[in-house]
Structure 1
Amino acid sequence: MSRQMQQDSATMPTAPGGASTGHGLDWPALFATRAERMKASEIRELLKLLDQPDVISFAGGIPDPALFPADAFGAALTSALSGDSKGAALQYSVSEGYKPLRDWLVTRMASLGVECSADNIMITSGSQQALDYLGKLFLSPRDTALVGWPTYLGALQAFNAYEPSYDRLTPLGNRSAADYRETAQGKGGPGGGKVKFAYASADFANPTGETLQASARENILDLATELDIAVIEDAAYQSLRYDGDEVPPLLALDIERNGGIDNTRTIYCGSFSKTLAPGLRVGWVCAAKPVISKLVLMKQAADLHSATLNQMAIHQVASDGFEAQVARIKATYMARRDAMLAALARHMPEGVTWTRPDGGMFVWVTLPEHFDGAALLAESIRIERVAFVPGKAFFADGSGANTIRLSFSCASEAMIEEGIMRLGRVVRGG
């Protein structure tokens, strides 16, 4: 608020009870304290640049729409709205989700080493909704969430609403449970805070593209067991492996340790957004039944259920050709990843380093310490018309100013070569 606006509000006439009569209600004064932690997503703002045809964008971590199985979805939606199924497609439904889709997911999870039943699965409106629900379920103000440094910005936004503290999750196992407890109690104020969960994107993480190896996953489970906390496994990119051997999900390792999914502490959040289509907003949670039963109650209170028509369409398309669709997008994205890594090697000056992901959509670039990613972005757009995401937004403590995230999913190989060449010029000038 400007100084003049503050002065105007100070002299504005008020009605009984203190409500302003001149320029409307003072909404911020009514907002809960948690609203102060709700910030605009830098990524969502940068997506607006995609509408500018002269900008080469490595910003949005979104699938290439040219690869969506649009014809298959058209047929699936027509089928869902025909005959006996049309009433169910347009009607209210159960909060747990469309049963045939949950049954399909039981088979899918079994292929990943996760034996479960449909009662261990709830459909959500994308895995982002799952993160919001899990923040609501576990976090009281000043509780601690253990997250990566950096970590997925959408997770921080989901958890921030519940006013937690954050501590750095170290998958290499070089911090003790006692140290985490002591830090959480120190951040929790007079009553002391508790560590509630560890959040990890184990495969081709957003933003770094890095994958946790089996030993790191075991370390996270060891720590969670010592702290007696939950583990939230964000598996949005799990299907997009291009190189190397598959690593079992954290939930599969947890089941192996404890003899069944209902004895585990890991909550698996999956999504069809990166494989089939993000616009239908269909994701899922797979976890022990006591967790699912609480999430179902939250779903009932929030939106009753995810759109049945969308779930039916996803089920049909997944049943008819999930593996073929995944193979198609993997071939395209792998070529683009290779093009970006090769272009970085050609055009980035000495002192710049980057990750070499085995899958996913992202390369994480670390610049010399004197760089600021936000300032570099402004220069890059102004001079070379190249966009990316500054890395600072992915750090819970606001550090990481000299990092940037590049996405290769929506740029052709020719665009990648041209864009990285231009970006290299900007970095050299910095």
Structure 2
Amino acid sequence: MLDWEHIFATRSSRMKASEIRELLKLLEQPDIISFAGGIPDPALFPAQEFQAAYAEIFSSSQVNAALQYSVSEGYKPLRDWIVADVAKIGIECSADNVFITSGSQQALDYLGKLFLSPNDTALVTWPTYLGALSAFNAYEPNYDQLSLNGNRTPEGYRDTAAKAGGQVKFAYLSADFSNPTGETIGQEGREKLLALADEMDIAILEDAAYQHLRFNGQAISPILALDIARKGGIENTRTIYSGSFSKTLAPGLRVGFVIAAMPVIRKLVLMKQAADLHSSTINQIAIEHVASRGFDAQVAKIKKVYSGRRDAMLAALEKYMPKNTSWTKPEGGMFVWVTLPEGMDGAELLAKSLATERVAFVPGKAFYADGSNANSLRISFSCANDQMIDEGIKRLGRLISNSVAGDNETLPII
């Protein structure tokens, strides 16, 4: 067999299988209670609305354009709809500032390609979205921990990046109900990030995949909106906002978007032309049909269901988890982050859980750029009903309690 390794580019060594993608295969096993996949509940997809949208496209003269090559920027009516939607949250822009991608994951890949040269540094939260690390890894960066509590200085970031052989290029974060922790960055933290980015002259990549999924609490302006307010217009901003219809309408259509100043958009368009020419035209048209006729109602429907499941999960955690375990209490999104007793390994716990309790989750260290903090895990409530949540957390709490007891039994008595 041919030895391919010496032919592959060096960057290929940094490409790893997604732990989450692998765990999703467990959903096919009926006896598994899965809190692993951060995916929307398919029962909540607006299937009838999409059926009507595609039927309308195929029964009109629009079908020719829908099946034809199209512009790389994206379907103009969809970009116009996005402009109107984000204006409600303070992002004032034009359709020229909106670029359609094949899901927000493609946006992360393009942005990594645009900014990162080998050995450059990306500032990321600790933990951060695993998919972002996977996208950036191909461009051979280093990572440093993004801190908004004042214990890191611009000079410190620069020195660390220089010692690693490059420059700091951007700070990446999900500010609202982040994947994996479910936590939200407050306005003070967002303002500090803007000040840091201005001082360091770097970009901010704002991942807003869960922007619409706030269940309670006071809404906070997106970082891009704050940047626009500071700078007097989007063309003067350094924040690049990426969004998606995957969590609100349907992920299978693979429609996401980027909002940014025109110099960034122009570069992304060139990348699109070189990569896949344009995102699926017919899917963009269908998304625009459904969004323009019922987006707010769809969001209200899923928020009602997901908020109930969030409440059920928090109640179950309170009921069944041992006292030396802690967890986040998100105001929206799809995730809860659990911190296990010190010394416990989430990956080892998962192996035990699948073998004995038949409960799946994602070990936490996968979300750390340095593979640290093994005593953590991510659980998602989006695809589990109240009964599954109660039973699954009960089993998981029992397993953690038994593991702690087992560890204690091996300790010498002093």
TM-score range (shorter-chain normalised) is over 0.9
User: How many residues end up aligned between the 2 structures?
Assistant: 403
Counterpart CA distance in 1 for 2:208 and 2:54 is 27
Counterpart CA distance in 2 for 1:171 and 1:128 is 25
Map 1:192-203 to 2 at 5 A.
Answer: 193-203=166-176
What amino acid is the match of 1:60? G
Counterpart CA distance in 2 for 1:413 and 1:360 is 17
Partner of 2:200: 227
Map 1:14-53 to 2 at 5 A.
Answer: 23=1, 25-53=2-30
Counterpart CA distance in 2 for 1:312 and 1:232 is 27
Alpha-carbon contact 1:93-1:305 (below 8 Å) kept: yes
Secondary structure of the residue aligned to 1:329 is helix
Counterpart CA distance in 2 for 1:288 and 1:89 is 28
Deviation at 1:423, TM superposition (A): 0.4
1:208 aligns with 2:185: no
Partner of 1:347: 320
Deviation at 1:293, TM superposition (A): 0.3
Counterpart CA distance in 2 for 1:175 and 1:256 is 26
1:309 aligns with 2:286: no
- 1:324-356 Cα offsets, whole Å, 9 max, x none, are 000000000000000000000000011000000
- Give structure 1 regions of 4+ aligned residues with deviation exceeding 4 angstroms: none
Counterpart CA distance in 1 for 2:190 and 2:57 is 40
Counterpart CA distance in 2 for 1:52 and 1:28 is 35
Whichever of the two has the greater Rg, that structure is: 1
Question: Which segment is superposed worse, 306-315 or 78-87?
Answer: 78-87
- Alignment partner of 1:63 out of 37, 40, 44: 40
1:300 aligns with 2:277: no
Alpha-carbon contact 1:144-1:164 (below 8 Å) kept: yes
1:337 aligns with 2:310: yes
Partner of 2:70: 93
- Alignment partner of 1:396 out of 365, 369, 381: 369
Secondary structure of the residue aligned to 1:101 is helix
Map 1:277-288 to 2 at 5 A.
Answer: 277-288=250-261
Deviation at 1:172, TM superposition (A): 2.2
1:166 aligns with 2:143: yes
Partner of 1:420: 393
Question: Which segment is superposed worse, 54-63 or 164-173?
Answer: 164-173
Partner of 1:408: 381
Secondary structure of the residue aligned to 1:198 is strand
Counterpart CA distance in 2 for 1:297 and 1:78 is 33
Secondary structure of the residue aligned to 1:94 is coil
- Listed as ranges, the gaps of 5+ residues in structure 2 are 404-414
Deviation at 1:174, TM superposition (A): 2.6
What amino acid is the match of 1:248? S
Counterpart CA distance in 1 for 2:86 and 2:308 is 28
- Alignment partner of 1:119 out of 96, 101, 112: 96
Secondary structure of the residue aligned to 1:404 is strand
Counterpart CA distance in 2 for 1:203 and 1:79 is 35
Please tell me the root mean square deviation across aligned C-alpha atoms, in Å.
Answer: 0.5
Question: Which segment is superposed worse, 74-83 or 199-208?
Answer: 74-83
Partner of 1:265: 238
- 1:1-53 Cα offsets, whole Å, 9 max, x none, are xxxxxxxxxxxxxxxxxxxxxx3x22111100000000000000000000000
- Listed as ranges, the gaps of 5+ residues in structure 1 are 1-22
Secondary structure of the residue aligned to 2:20 is helix
- 1:105-148 Cα offsets, whole Å, 9 max, x none, are 01011111011000000000000000000000000000000000
Deviation at 1:80, TM superposition (A): 1.4
- 1:145-171 Cα offsets, whole Å, 9 max, x none, are 000000000000000000000000012
Partner of 1:81: 58
Counterpart CA distance in 2 for 1:415 and 1:300 is 45
Counterpart CA distance in 1 for 2:35 and 2:60 is 44
Deviation at 1:79, TM superposition (A): 1.0
Secondary structure of the residue aligned to 2:252 is coil
Alpha-carbon contact 1:124-1:283 (below 8 Å) kept: yes
**TM-score when normalising by structure 2:** 0.97
Deviation at 1:375, TM superposition (A): 0.4
Partner of 2:119: 142
Partner of 1:14: none
Partner of 2:159: 182
Deviation at 1:84, TM superposition (A): 1.0
Counterpart CA distance in 2 for 1:84 and 1:133 is 33
What amino acid is the match of 1:130? A
Counterpart CA distance in 1 for 2:148 and 2:380 is 24
Question: Which segment is superposed worse, 240-249 or 74-83?
Answer: 74-83
Deviation at 1:195, TM superposition (A): 0.2
Secondary structure of the residue aligned to 2:157 is helix
**TM-score when normalising by structure 1:** 0.93
Secondary structure of the residue aligned to 1:102 is helix
Alpha-carbon contact 1:386-1:423 (below 8 Å) kept: yes
Counterpart CA distance in 2 for 1:290 and 1:82 is 39
Alpha-carbon contact 1:173-1:216 (below 8 Å) kept: no
Secondary structure of the residue aligned to 1:30 is coil
Counterpart CA distance in 2 for 1:384 and 1:175 is 42
Deviation at 1:175, TM superposition (A): 1.2
Alpha-carbon contact 1:203-1:238 (below 8 Å) kept: yes
1:289 aligns with 2:266: no
Deviation at 1:273, TM superposition (A): 0.2
What amino acid is the match of 1:350? K
Deviation at 1:294, TM superposition (A): 0.3
Counterpart CA distance in 1 for 2:105 and 2:204 is 16
Deviation at 1:98, TM superposition (A): 0.2
